[in-house]
Chains A and B, each alone.
Chain A
Amino acid sequence: DTGVSQDPRHKITKRGQNVTFRCDPISEHNRLYWYRQTLGQGPEFLTYFQNEAQLEKSRLLSDRFSAERPKGSFSTLEIQRTEQGDSAMYLCASSLGLAQYNEQFFGPGTRLTVL
């Protein structure tokens, strides 16, 4: 068990460019979450997968954002036509099981800077 990993750890892009982040959850974890964290704030929920199905999306997830989890393993989060307001830390978490109190294990995050 190597924990949740995210790639890249840092991404600097110019406004208007597309970016894609990858998250590898702990193996066999059926649930995968994406959060966004801005400076001085706690993580804010973006979206959630149970296996390969995307079951919930936050209002924060505009049409420029899309997430996938093919085959219920790794997940990707793509941001199209990036804006400066997208600059943030993007966190991925995974959990096992169906209980509402199951611990979410977090990755180290991808820090996005949009110039």
Chain B
Amino acid sequence: AQSVTQLGSHVSVSEGALVLLRCNYSSSVPPYLFWYVQYPNQGLQLLLKYTTGATLVKGINGFEAEFKKSETSFHLTKPSAHMSDAAEYFCAVSDFWGDTGNQFYFGTGTSLTVIP
């Protein structure tokens, strides 16, 4: 089975500072990797995903992530934090059962606080 580790359950950054949220995964096969964001009282929303091809993936709201196979990492970054980025962020890896479907394994999440 796959697993995901998110280092740092809480991250605080100043507005305008770099955001770095860490995600490491374990997978016996080439993974499909995702970052989701969850705002209070809302469902999870996809930020970006890596399937194949270019290892630097750009997502919504200025976020991007780089797949590093040698480090089994998929860290999420944003050059300049905005107050609206304050939310819970989840990294996920997709496992699959042949042709019958796929299951997402989520990390425990990182709560991002943006300080004015």
Contact = CB atoms under 8 A, between A and B. Distances in A.
B101 A50 contact: yes
Query: DSSP class of B's interface residues: helix, strand, loop or mixed?
Result: strand
A50 to B, nearest CB: 6
B103 A45 contact: yes
A56 B101 contact: yes
Interface residues of A, number: 28
Contacts of B92: 42
B43 A42 contact: no
B101 A55 contact: yes
B94 interface: yes
A72 interface: no
A106 interface: yes
B101 A48 contact: yes
A3 B45 CA distance: 11
B106 interface: yes
B46 A103 contact: yes
A84 interface: no
Given A45-B105, A108-B41, A55 B100 contact: yes
A100 B90 contact: no
Interface of B: 4, 9, 32, 34, 36, 41-46, 49, 51, 90, 92, 94, 96-97, 99-109
3 tightest Cβ-Cβ pairs between the two chains A and B = A42-B106, A106-B43, A100-B96
